[in-house]
Structure 1
């Protein structure tokens, strides 16, 4: 199968590329290299350095004629969205519309879209299922949710099949603490460099952490399942930020001594996604415990630190 992936040299999507190639799919990667690292790109993938808003995207998709498009290219930082909502909307909303227009013209069969737990806002109940009201607390949450509506209407008007995956807090190897800003990679970077990790708020806020390889398997499952549906992709478990850092300190044999700062605007206090529907309909199951995923991630970064 020929599959095109946007943002394919980024943290999550580069792992998906590797898996698809392992499964003998033909993979085309589109990325503007604003955040991702080209060193993450598989030599067996065809690569186009192009922005979603570039007119050449239409020609690329038309000429390559992929059967499925997996859409990960995005502005993903909550704080950036609050500082510059126009930029956030341009990338995440307008960029997706341009991609959908190209998909429509090229006759792509299906789109898999990487959405976010941020669309839900403050939970009215936990765990949050897919029927929970959508009330984003940040512009990022709005800009990740809005494309869902566009995808659904393109499906209704033009017959595009789709699967929308709303990710919990993803962590793992290749996550850039300087760019993509996942708390796990930021903590590891601080601990390995002998710096004091910063926790915003009291650290008792909870997140549902899911390892990147479990996200990969959800995307693979969506290639053939989940038609015209939305799924939470999570571990369905709450972990406090304090617990997270303590576990990482133990793995890296570092003292637990965080610096606490005021909570940040737009951050949700507690988050946990119900993954029951994904388990049932995608025939998918998260395989990594938090400890196993953290250990693999910490070992990866420790090796890089030793080689530097």
Structure 2
């Protein structure tokens, strides 16, 4: 298939792009490089540096009329959404509408959309199934849910010749290699690992008892790619999580242990809770299992070990350290994380 991946140079998008290429698909990537890196994208991919909020950039991306669109591009920070709600709205809603408009005009038949568990807000039911009413408590959650509704309402339009088959994935806390360890607004595990590697305090906002559901990137990619040409997924919304709760304090301890540290030799500081934070988060993944045959395979400890190996290799290269020495250090710490 010819597949367009928006945000394909970022953390999740680049992993999906690599998998698609490995399976023989022809891929175009558009990314504004606000958080993504061109170096994350395979050389054989057609690459456009552009923004989904810019119709001219999307014209270039869609000019070869893809068979399918994987729409990952988005503003992903809850805190930045509060400090710049207009920017959040433009990227996550206007950008999604622009992508949909291109699909309609070009006759694209397939779209997969990156939604978010933040759409649920503080759900009464935990683990949370997909039929739970959505009541987001953050601006970010509002925009991701709005984008999701635009996607499914567009697919329901009776005036589209041939129709548009859509699938949305409400992703939980995705982590793994290529997740930024130097971006204080993106991915709590990456933030914690970066803090430890640089010798900075870990900062927890709230009492640390709030929980998240951490799902490994390879498992997430399995679901996206598996649904691409699967008619059973058409028109449906799926949770992508591990089905396990982990408190933020527990995560801090796991990250410290993976890097050979403890709270006795590395500070963990607690600060007042920030707006838009969900309290208890855990995915019910039974629906994805029954429809897609998908189950998360990677335990947090296993995925954390792999992420630590990657983070230490990357940090070693940035600091000019010997790669073989750094690789040995990474493997030793990763083995301790699994143990």
Instruction: Tell me if TM exceeds 0.5.
Output: yes
Equivalent position to 2:280, from 267, 270, 278: 270
Equivalent position to 2:215, from 210, 221, 233: 210
2:78–2:276 Cα contact (<8 Å) kept = yes
Alignment partner, residue 335 of structure 2 = none
Q: Distance in 1 between matches of 2:153 and 2:257?
A: 48
Say which SS state the counterpart of residue 156 (structure 2) adopts: helix
Q: Distance in 1 between matches of 2:40 and 2:62?
A: 26
Q: Distance in 1 between matches of 2:315 and 2:5?
A: 30
Output one character per residue of 1:265-290: Cα deviation in whole Å (capped at 9) or x when no partner: 11111101101000111111111100
Alignment partner, residue 234 of structure 1 = 241
TM-aligned CA distance change 1:15 to 1:62, over 3 Å: closer
Task: Please state how far the C-alpha of 1:61 moved relative to its aligned partner.
Answer: 4.5
Output one character per residue of 1:90-120: Cα deviation in whole Å (capped at 9) or x when no partner: 1110111111111111111110000000000
Alignment partner, residue 195 of structure 1 = 200
The structure with higher relative contact order (CA 8 Å, sep 6+) is 1
2:65 matched to 1:65?
Answer: yes
Alignment partner, residue 53 of structure 2 = 53
2:170 matched to 1:166?
Answer: yes
2:50–2:58 Cα contact (<8 Å) kept = no
Give the RMSD, CA atoms, in angstroms.
Answer: 1.2
Alignment partner, residue 191 of structure 2 = 186
1:70–1:113 Cα contact (<8 Å) kept = yes
Say which SS state the counterpart of residue 64 (structure 1) adopts: coil
Output one character per residue of 1:242-267: Cα deviation in whole Å (capped at 9) or x when no partner: 11111121121012231111111111
**Could you state the TM-score of these two structures normalised by the residue count of structure 2?**
0.88
- How many equivalent residue pairs? 308
Say which SS state the counterpart of residue 42 (structure 1) adopts: coil
Q: Distance in 1 between matches of 2:153 and 2:10?
A: 28
Task: Please state how far the C-alpha of 1:57 moved relative to its aligned partner.
Answer: 3.8
Unmatched 5+ stretches in structure 2: 320-339
Superposition pairs of residues 1-20 of structure 1, within 5 angstroms: 1-20=1-20
Q: Distance in 1 between matches of 2:128 and 2:35?
A: 30
Output one character per residue of 1:6-27: Cα deviation in whole Å (capped at 9) or x when no partner: 0000011000000110111100
Task: Please state how far the C-alpha of 1:148 moved relative to its aligned partner.
Answer: 1.4
Task: Please state how far the C-alpha of 1:55 moved relative to its aligned partner.
Answer: 2.4
Q: Is 216-225 or 116-125 further displaced after alignment?
A: 216-225
> In terms of Rg, which structure is larger?
2
Output one character per residue of 1:208-239: Cα deviation in whole Å (capped at 9) or x when no partner: 00011111111111102211100000111101
Say which SS state the counterpart of residue 102 (structure 1) adopts: helix
1:166–1:233 Cα contact (<8 Å) kept = yes
Output one character per residue of 1:60-102: Cα deviation in whole Å (capped at 9) or x when no partner: 2542111110001101100111112111111110111111111
**Could you state the TM-score of these two structures normalised by the residue count of structure 1?**
0.97
Q: Distance in 2 between matches of 1:275 and 1:199?
A: 28
1:236–1:273 Cα contact (<8 Å) kept = yes
Say which SS state the counterpart of residue 63 (structure 2) adopts: helix
Say which SS state the counterpart of residue 186 (structure 1) adopts: helix
Superposition pairs of residues 81-160 of structure 1, within 5 angstroms: 81-157=81-157, 158=160, 159-160=163-164
Say which SS state the counterpart of residue 230 (structure 1) adopts: strand
1:61–1:106 Cα contact (<8 Å) kept = no
2:28–2:61 Cα contact (<8 Å) kept = no
Q: Distance in 2 between matches of 1:156 and 1:218?
A: 23
Equivalent position to 1:289, from 279, 291, 299: 299
2:243–2:284 Cα contact (<8 Å) kept = yes
2:29–2:61 Cα contact (<8 Å) kept = no
Q: Distance in 1 between matches of 2:311 and 2:134?
A: 36
